[in-house]
Structure 1
């Protein structure tokens, strides 16, 4: 009985010490991280090339959710972007995709009447159901990949319905994606090799793709249900 009680108390202690979603630890605060999503509102976000947030974007149990059923029922949606723009950064977020779903997180997205879609300027970290969605047949289209450019390796994404923890770092061209605490993508966006890679991708006809050093973060509306939480940013200053 005594051992059982100690075990229960230990579990309660660990649970209490666990960091709650959409909050900053002391270490993160000291490092300069800021929340991009407070877990309660859509403050700090707006529709790409527009104002406000579509009604299919909802707050659900501390997550920012794009509700595909609401979207199909006539609710407004669309890609959403941060109010702020960022250059070099360390970005953290958790993402969860519905079965057979597809979405993504873009960076250095530029808003302008010249660009109808955020992916005309912003590279994308893929969010997808690897097991079911047909687009995942291509390695560079699988979860955690730099979409259509560099496949996530190893491919360690959790199944649909489970949270994946992501960390993305861009520092003077050096770009790294960590998926569930494992480095899965690494490149240098300032090199001729990266330019050549883009020229061989589906973005080859988009002259301003990955050309801007500063821009917004974007959460993609691909028509499927997706959740985001723990979105936080540390700007890297030089």
Structure 2
């Protein structure tokens, strides 16, 4: 019996090393791993993440009760955005999230970093996350949860849970075709880099940001908008 237990533990350790994840995750999520999912947040640490355009200690994001929690960066806007070390091209990104009353955040993809950029939003499209009901200012539809921020708005299938309750979010990006999902429903889809998309970009909020949406490959990340926001069960799988 002891030999069997030892052998099982050894297999778990070897498997976890091979897939670059902690041993406890290798035990908990073998179906997800088998389906090609990469776990981006291990529920215990900030391993695999960094602040936008920075290295070193991360002070404004904490791990609390298995969730990744934004506490608000004291500094320039965008300097506290959390960015994955890994980069992705075509993918399906899935996560759970909630916000406090009045909070604002978002999920970025295809983030480009470098000295010419001050914040992730200058290059990265954003799945908007916000307290639609309790935010202390009037919101346009393109500013509300689930929107492709400042570009495309959700459809009538959007069903948002009350502030403080967990929602599920998903972004699918496949060769320029983009889908936003909220709580199991597809609430938005569009095609990037088309003539219509370029027209929207040039006439809207991003007209002075020529690199917005230009990345074909880049990191994913979470926005620090100075408010508390909570994320967990963050995983991604690449689409070939």
- Please state which band the TM-score falls in when normalised by the shorter chain: 0.7 to 0.9
Give, in angstroms, the shift of residue 166 of structure 1: 0.8
SS of the residue corresponding to residue 196 of structure 1 reads helix
Q: Which moved more, 1:188-197 or 1:162-171?
A: 188-197
Q: Does 1:131 align with 2:133?
A: yes
Give, in angstroms, the shift of residue 28 of structure 1: 2.5
2:101 to 95, 99, 102: 99
8 Å Cα contact 1:135/1:141 also seen in 2? no
Q: Does 1:32 align with 2:36?
A: yes
Give, in angstroms, the shift of residue 112 of structure 1: 0.3
* Counterpart in the other structure of 1:227: 230
8 Å Cα contact 1:129/1:136 also seen in 2? no
Distance 1:194 1:38, change over 3 A: same
Alignment partners' CA distance in 1, 2:212 and 2:192: 12
SS of the residue corresponding to residue 217 of structure 1 reads strand
Alignment partners' CA distance in 1, 2:95 and 2:207: 29
* Counterpart in the other structure of 2:190: 187
Alignment partners' CA distance in 1, 2:151 and 2:26: 30
SS of the residue corresponding to residue 151 of structure 2 reads coil
Give, in angstroms, the shift of residue 31 of structure 1: 2.1
Give, in angstroms, the shift of residue 27 of structure 1: 4.1
Give, in angstroms, the shift of residue 144 of structure 1: 1.0
Query: Alpha-carbon deviations, 1:164-194, whole Å to 9, x = none?
Result: 1011100001100110000111001131111
Alignment partners' CA distance in 2, 1:135 and 1:125: 19
Give, in angstroms, the shift of residue 218 of structure 1: 1.4
Alignment partners' CA distance in 2, 1:152 and 1:52: 37
Give, in angstroms, the shift of residue 222 of structure 1: 0.2
SS of the residue corresponding to residue 101 of structure 2 reads coil
* Counterpart in the other structure of 2:88: 86
Alignment partners' CA distance in 2, 1:174 and 1:22: 32
8 Å Cα contact 1:109/1:218 also seen in 2? yes
* Counterpart in the other structure of 1:115: 117
2:145 to 143, 148, 151: 143
Q: Which moved more, 1:225-234 or 1:196-205?
A: 196-205
8 Å Cα contact 1:99/1:129 also seen in 2? yes
Give, in angstroms, the shift of residue 54 of structure 1: 2.5
Q: Which sections of structure 1, spanning at least 5 residues, go unmatched? A: 1-20
* Counterpart in the other structure of 1:59: 63
Give, in angstroms, the shift of residue 52 of structure 1: 2.8
8 Å Cα contact 1:22/1:38 also seen in 2? no
Compute the TM-score of the two structures, normalised by the length of structure 2.
0.83
* Counterpart in the other structure of 1:12: none
8 Å Cα contact 1:47/1:79 also seen in 2? yes
1:48 to 48, 52, 57: 52
After superposing on structure 2, the runs of 4+ consecutive aligned residues of structure 1 that deviate more than 3 Å are: 21-27
Output the aligned Cα RMSD: 2.1
Number of positions where the alignment pairs a residue of Structure 1 with one of Structure 2: 212
Alignment partners' CA distance in 2, 1:226 and 1:162: 11
